[in-house]
């Protein structure tokens, strides 16, 4: 009887429900800020998000108003549903469809590389990694946290002023409720899709494509601070040569050519402009976990809401 009780307790612990709330800011094809609530229950996961675009095209498209969205991941059904509360519709993608899409993308990328075998960006730079981690632990929202702060810097082999800086700064805690359950689900989810952990952060997979080796090394090194990120920063920025506006450059070129053909239009060539470099943030995201609890989650969270129609 005692062993039966132990087995029942272990089984219930393995499938404990988890609720997490966090704030998120990001900069990728525009800047945004918002809140996210995530629910975990066994092989089910649901996300409810409210996001507001603060710059870029999406701010114009959304009018700068908050946009609600949701996703439901069902490992048991091998499917992802994307919900649009505004018009009460949803889209469906099976894991098989996602894998096929990924394979097609990889094939097209390989073909493009064969047709234009240029050196990939990562190989154009000489890389060094600096560990800037804070050795002192601190308490954030009641959880004991340890820091890992890693910075990879790449210097262009042909232009020493051209630099790429990749930063991963995490305050992780093993005290956060539901760490094991969330990590277990995410691992099984990524394995089912054939992806790495970076795919869990929207936009990061695309942004890190040119620097996969560096990201893999940083992610691996960040495991020295185990647990759940309570506060996190991931950023890719590039100190690069600023080029002239293409339209302006073409216009000036046509104007100079015409003026050069006229006898009275010839003038002394202007001195070449001094190269100007500036920082350009390619990708940035910050998050802060504000709440995490282990309690029963309504099963309806993992089903398509009543009245929603499939959008194809």
Residue with tokens 């995201």: 285
Residue with more model confidence, 202 or 3: 202
* β-strands 277-293, 228-241 pairing: antiparallel
Q: What is the pLDDT of residue 112?
A: 58
161, pLDDT greater than 90: yes
Q: What is the pLDDT of residue 19?
A: 96
Rounded alpha-carbon distances, angstroms, from residue 81 to 41, 53, 223, 307: 16, 23, 31, 15
Q: What pTM does this model have?
A: 0.76
Element (H, E) at 182: helix 179-193
Q: What is the pLDDT of residue 206?
A: 54
271 CB neighbour count, 10 Å cutoff = 6
Mean pLDDT check: name the lowest of 8-12, 61-65, 67-71, 96-100: 8-12
Give the mean model confidence (pLDDT) for residues 117-145: 87
167, pLDDT greater than 60: yes
Residue 26 neighbours by CB under 8 Å, 6+ apart: 32, 33, 202, 203, 284, 285, 286
CA–CA dist 94, 169 (Å, integer): 34
227, pLDDT greater than 90: no
pLDDT, tens digit, 9 for 90 and up, residues 94-106: 999 988 887 776 6
3-class DSSP string for 186-245 = HHHHHHHHCCCHHHHCCCHHHHCHHHHHHHHHHHHHHHHCCCEEEEEEEEEEEEEECCCC
Q: What is the pLDDT of residue 59?
A: 85
Average pLDDT, the chain: 81
290, pLDDT greater than 90: yes
Tell me the pLDDT band of 118, cut-offs 50, 70 and 90: very low
CA–CA dist 125, 159 (Å, integer): 9
pLDDT, tens digit, 9 for 90 and up, residues 262-279: 455 555 556 667 788 999
Tell me the pLDDT band of 150, cut-offs 50, 70 and 90: very high
* β-strands 31-41, 67-74 pairing: unpaired
Burial 168-183 (b: 16+ CB within 10 A, else e): bbbbbbeebbbbebbe
């Amino acid at each position: 009887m005692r062993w039966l009780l132990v087995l029942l307790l272990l089984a219930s612990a393995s499938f404990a429900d988890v609720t997490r709330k966090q704030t998120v800011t990001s900069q990728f094809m525009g800047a945004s800020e918002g809140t996210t609530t995530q629910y975990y229950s066994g092989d089910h996961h649901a996300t409810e998000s409210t996001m507001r675009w603060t710059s870029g095209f999406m701010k114009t498209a959304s009018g700068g108003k908050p946009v609600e969205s949701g996703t439901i991941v069902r490992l048991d059904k091998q499917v992802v549903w994307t919900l649009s509360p505004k018009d009460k519709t949803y889209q469906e993608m099976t894991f098989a469809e996602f894998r096929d899409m990924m394979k097609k993308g990889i094939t097209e990328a390989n073909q493009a590389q064969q047709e234009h075998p240029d050196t990939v960006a990562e190989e154009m730079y000489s890389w060094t990694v600096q560990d800037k981690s804070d050795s002192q632990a601190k308490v954030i929202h009641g959880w004991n946290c340890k820091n890992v702060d890693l910075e990879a810097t790449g210097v262009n082999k042909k232009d020493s002023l051209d630099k790429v800086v990749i930063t991963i700064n995490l305050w992780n805690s093993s005290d956060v409720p539901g760490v094991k359950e969330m990590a277990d689900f995410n691992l099984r989810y990524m394995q089912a899709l054939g992806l790495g952990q970076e795919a869990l952060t929207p936009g990061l997979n695309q942004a890190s494509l040119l620097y996969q080796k560096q990201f893999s090394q940083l992610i691996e090194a960040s495991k020295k601070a185990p647990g759940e990120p309570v506060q996190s920063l991931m950023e890719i920025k590039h100190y690069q040569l600023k080029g002239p506006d293409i339209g302006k450059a073409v216009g000036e070129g046509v104007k100079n050519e015409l003026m050069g053909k006229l006898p009275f239009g010839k003038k002394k060539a202007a001195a070449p402009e001094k190269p100007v470099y500036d920082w350009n943030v390619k990708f940035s995201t910050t998050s802060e976990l504000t709440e995490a609890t282990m309690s029963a989650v309504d099963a309806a969270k993992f089903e398509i809401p009543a009245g929603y129609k499939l959008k194809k």
